[in-house]
């Protein structure tokens, strides 16, 4: 019964966030559309650049131009999901921590994780990349001659969720530094996420193993689009197997959860210097 109530509450919170997002779009349409257009142009410029390179040279590292297009569409869908569910700094969590705003969440009559999961939902102003990515994926699948089954569709959803889990876990892992150094680490999650996007949109196929392996083990750039895309195309790279992304997501999520909880306990004990006379945002 408690799970049912929690689920209903989460749906209501998502509905509230969606309503607020729609209100912004209708009230300030010019600037909302400008923001939507900027996100769309920025992402498509990255996608089209890599795709046009693959067309010019007949593929990249053994991946055909259509396979590269599929990888780019996968990346665009992930970007769309990220923007739709992370518009409230709930994924860029270091900003909330560094600005001393966790206290605002502590006094709410909801668990912290529920608030963080629902506060950034923006389907109306943040859904453009998701829609474009889905269209590009349909085109890529058609050009590749794939016949998606129900199992393949479920695998696609599973890999998308896995990729998002890796993004969120990494963001929370590095954001834990903001508990101890709020001024220096306030924007560290944005730096980490932006750096990941810059490297993750280029195929790693054809690169030497001393470059590929660190980017799918120590760093997650290869897990953002390249590795899961090849898995969906039936070509898991490096002999690691199709389930490797799920295992990677599980490990990094566990590590991030442990370190973030330690940082949160420190934060609860020490508080934020924002609210003291010498606070940097007093």
* Cα–Cα dist 104/190, whole Å: 21
Q: Look at residues 78, 102, 17 and name the one whose alpha carbon lies nearest to residue 232.
A: 78
* Cα–Cα dist 133/114, whole Å: 28
The CB-side HSE value for 193 (13 A sphere, CA atoms) comes to 26
* Cα–Cα dist 54/72, whole Å: 11
pLDDT of residue 276: 56
pLDDT of residue 2: 43
Q: Any idea which residue has 């990220």 for tokens? A: 82
pLDDT of residue 90: 86
pLDDT of residue 228: 94
pLDDT of residue 252: 94
* Cα–Cα dist 167/253, whole Å: 10
* Cα–Cα dist 113/178, whole Å: 18
Burial (0-12, 13-18, 19+ Cβ within 10 Å), 274: middle
| Contact indicator for 168, 91 with CB cutoff of 8 Å | yes
Phi and psi at 126, nearest 5°, equal -115, 10
Q: For every one of its 282 residues, what pLDDT tens digit does the chain have, with 9 covering 90 and above?
A: 444 557 788 888 889 888 888 887 788 777 778 877 777 787 777 777 777 888 888 888 788 889 999 999 998 899 889 888 987 788 889 988 888 888 888 888 888 888 888 888 888 888 888 988 899 999 999 999 888 899 999 999 999 999 999 999 999 999 999 998 888 888 888 888 876 777 777 888 888 888 889 989 888 888 889 999 999 999 988 888 899 999 999 999 999 999 999 999 998 887 766 655 554 455
Q: Any idea which residue has 């810059």 for tokens? A: 198
* pTM above threshold 0.85: yes
pLDDT of residue 277: 55
């Amino acid at each position: 019964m408690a799970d049912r109530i929690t689920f209903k509450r989460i749906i209501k919170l998502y509905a509230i966030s969606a309503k607020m997002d729609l209100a912004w779009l209708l009230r300030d349409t010019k600037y909302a559309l400008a923001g939507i257009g900027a996100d769309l142009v920025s992402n498509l410029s990255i996608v089209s650049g890599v795709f046009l390179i693959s067309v010019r040279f007949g593929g990249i590292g053994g991946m055909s131009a259509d396979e590269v297009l599929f990888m780019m569409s996968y990346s665009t869908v992930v970007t769309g999901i990220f923007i739709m569910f992370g518009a409230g700094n709930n994924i860029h969590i270091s900003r909330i921590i560094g600005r001393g705003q966790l206290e605002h969440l502590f006094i709410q009559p909801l668990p912290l994780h529920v608030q963080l999961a629902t506060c950034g939902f923006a389907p109306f102003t943040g859904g453009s990349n998701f829609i474009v990515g889905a269209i590009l994926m349909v085109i890529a699948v058609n050009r590749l001659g794939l016949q998606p089954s129900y199992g393949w569709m479920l695998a696609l959803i599973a890999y998308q969720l896995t990729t998002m889990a890796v993004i969120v876990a990494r963001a929370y892992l590095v954001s834990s530094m903001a508990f101890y150094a709020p001024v220096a680490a306030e924007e560290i999650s944005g730096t980490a996420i932006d750096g990941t996007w810059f490297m993750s949109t280029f195929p790693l196929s054809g690169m030497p193993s001393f470059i590929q392996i660190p980017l799918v083990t120590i760093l997650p750039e290869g897990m953002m689009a390249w590795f899961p895309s090849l898995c969906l195309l039936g070509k898991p790279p490096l002999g690691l197997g199709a389930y490797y992304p799920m295992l990677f997501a599980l490990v990094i999520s566990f590590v991030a959860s442990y370190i973030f909880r330690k940082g949160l306990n420190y934060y609860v004990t020490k508080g934020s210097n924002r609210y003291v006379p010498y606070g940097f945002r007093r």
